[in-house]
Amino acid sequence: DVKVTQSSRYLVKRTGEKVFLECVQDMDHENMFWYRQDPGLGLRLIYFSYDVKMKEKGDIPEGYSVSREKKERFSLILESASTNQTSMYLCASSSVNRGASGANVLTFGAGSRLTVL
Amino acid sequence: DQQVKQNSPSLSVQEGRISILNCDYTNSMFDYFLWYKKYPAEGPTFLISISSIKDKNEDGRFTVFLNKSAKHLSLHIVPSQPGDSAVYFCAASDLEGTASKLTFGTGTRLQVTL
């Protein structure tokens, strides 16, 4: 069964701490994404990557950075966590080959719920 | 600037009846539209998609309709089952840029009652 695995399901951090959220996929996908989900706001794209060492800003990149040193791994970094970064963080991956449907289907991990106190 | 909108935050439907979830978009460059389903404490899972050149796509109990002139799509679930209770997200894909990314709506929580 194909998987996107997020290493931490629940984290509690203090304001100002540096936070690492790790994501690994085993599908040999080229594209990887970080979204955050908040009530009433849906899923918003933070950063994405289409290749190793490549990254692009999404809609809400402020306060975040990312790292993609290996194809299967995409990390989200909060340099100095703030309370407004309390959220559910979702990692996803997709292939450049769209398959029979032609749609760009993202496969998501189970999410990491971060609370910043 | 919300490019994909789901104006109904919640919907309650009786088991066996039809559930209709709606989605509007503003960007005419979107090439595919997708629906995802999300249970609490899980990641979203892909349900069904439709190309912008089609007006209907069906997969079992799920049908998605696209009205390009109105920039509107809807997901029909017939018959609705209690296990369909979840949050449904509409998403749109565009070809611009180096990796096709998805823009999501705000979600509609569907409750299927007995």
Contact flag A42-B104 (C-beta cutoff 8 Å): yes
Q: Is the dihedral of CA A113, A52, B51, B68 positive or negative?
A: positive
Cα-Cα-Cα-Cα dihedral sign, residues A47, B10, B5, B38: positive
Closest by Cβ to A101, choosing from B41, B42, B49: B49
Mean residue pLDDT of chain B comes to 93
Does residue B97 belong to the interface with chain A, where contact is any CB pair within 8 Å? yes
B26 in reach of chain A (CB within 8 A): no
Total beta-carbon pairs less than 8 A apart between chain A and chain B: 73
A60 touches chain B (CB under 8 A): no
- CA-closest candidate to residue A38, choices A89, A96, A98: A89
Above pLDDT 90, what percent of chain B? Answer: 81
Q: A21 at the B interface (CB within 8 A)? A: no
**Closest-CA distance of chain B to residue A3, Å:** 11
Per-position pLDDT tens, chain A of length 117 = 669 999 889 999 999 999 999 999 999 999 999 999 998 899 999 999 999 989 999 999 999 999 999 999 999 999 999 999 999 999 999 988 777 777 888 999 999 999 999
Interface test with B, best of A4, A8, A105, A114 (most B CBs within 10 A): A105
Which pLDDT band, with edges at 50, 70 and 90, does B99 fall under? low
Which tokens sit at B2?
Answer: 């919300």
Interface check for A56 against chain B (CB to CB < 8 A): the answer is yes
Q: Position of tokens 């460059």?
A: B29
